[in-house]
Amino acid sequence: MSRMPLALLQGFVLVARTGKLSRAAEQLNLTVSALSHQIRNLETRLGRRLFERGPRGVVLTMDGNHLLDAIGHHFDGIEQALHRYAGRHQDALTVSVLPSVASSWLVPRLPRLVARHPELEISLQSTASLVDFDREPVDAAIRYGMGQWPRTTAERLFGEYIVPVASPALIERMGGMPDVSLAGWPLLGDPSGRWTGWAEKFKTPLPGRYVARFDNTETMQRAALEGMGVALARLVMARSLIECGALVMLCEERLRVAEAYYLVYPRRSETHAGMTAFRGWLLEEAACHEAGLGEPPKA
């Protein structure tokens, strides 16, 4: 076998670790078709199939797993060796943000960041995937959870509430606003099973069946927008839709959940000037937001 081009192996490692051709291609500054061609070229040279296509991306075959185990750590070593020579622009910052938080919470506030720090160049990566700070050129992330991400600092920004919401069309079909029991209303099963907590908190019965169940909060919220049923929405995610009237809170009661939103970053970001500026501004915005949660959004 002729000497294997390192570019083919680098592309293979990135696809194997991200599980998505599109994401790996973006990191390599290639088109998806060009990266697909590289992978096929590598498979032809090796005489082995390395990936199978799955519903959510690509999955390593047994041969692919063996190859990743054999060469992955070598690329890690090269990256770590070169890391000390990589210059860092102190006014440039890359932040990974959940899509729902980016659109409903962070982006509307960014003009205030720009006004305070016009020198700061911020690049937002809108993705639900967790960041691997050891391998990705990302300085910080905003995540939702319990605040436990290994080898990172996680600073709590603000908490979250869930509220029952429905479209104006559904409210009209049901003859007006319900009481807190929501008796007789079509309910949408949420991915975390929080209707049980709602029923216990407010002493309301659970339905015998849900109109539909969802494994994704955004999909469930979309179903509520279409008038399919009542969703237990995360207030931060749904706030802009409530304020514009696309969704309506069906009662004043809200249920606080254990999860919260966090600013997450690796140790290397602690001395980054742009990160320091962003962090200070973000914590102020979060404190103002948390203080305002005592009042529901305008209906």
What are the structural domain ranges in the chain? 6-83, 89-299
Q: What does the pLDDT read at residue 252?
A: 86
pLDDT (0 to 100) of residue 260:
94
15-42: pLDDT as tens digits: 998 888 888 888 888 888 889 999 999 9
Rounded to whole angstroms, how far apart are CA atoms 206 and 193? Answer: 11
Report pLDDT for 280: 95
Pairing mode of beta strands 92-97, 140-145: parallel
What is the structure's pLDDT at 178? 87
Distances in Å between the Cα of 66 and the Cα atoms of 11, 69, 77, 78, 126 are 16, 5, 18, 20, 32
The reported pLDDT for the residue numbered 143 is 95
In the CATH scheme, what is the code of domain 89-299? 3.40.190.290
Q: What share of the chain is helix, strand, coil (3-state, %, to 5)?
A: 45, 20, 35
H or E element at residue 146: none
How deeply is 176 buried, as exposed, middle or buried, from its count of CB atoms within 10 A (0-12, 13-18, 19+)?
exposed
CATH value of 6-83 in 1.10.10.10, 1.10.10.350, 3.30.70.260, 3.40.50.170: 1.10.10.10
Angle between helices 32-46 and 21-28 (to 10 degrees): 100
User: What is the structure's pLDDT at 82?
Assistant: 58
Please check whether the two domains, 6-83 and 89-299, share a CATH topology.
no
pLDDT digits (tens, 9 = 90+) for 184-238: 899 999 878 888 888 888 888 888 789 999 888 888 989 999 999 999 999 888 8
Listed as ranges, residues in the chain with pLDDT below 70 are 1-2, 80-88, 293-299
Average pLDDT, the chain: 87
The pair of structure tokens assigned to 282 is 């973000």
pTM of the model: 0.65
Question: Any idea what DSSP says for residue 103?
Answer: I
Q: Which two tokens stand for residue 295?
A: 């009042």
State the pLDDT at residue 279.
Answer: 96
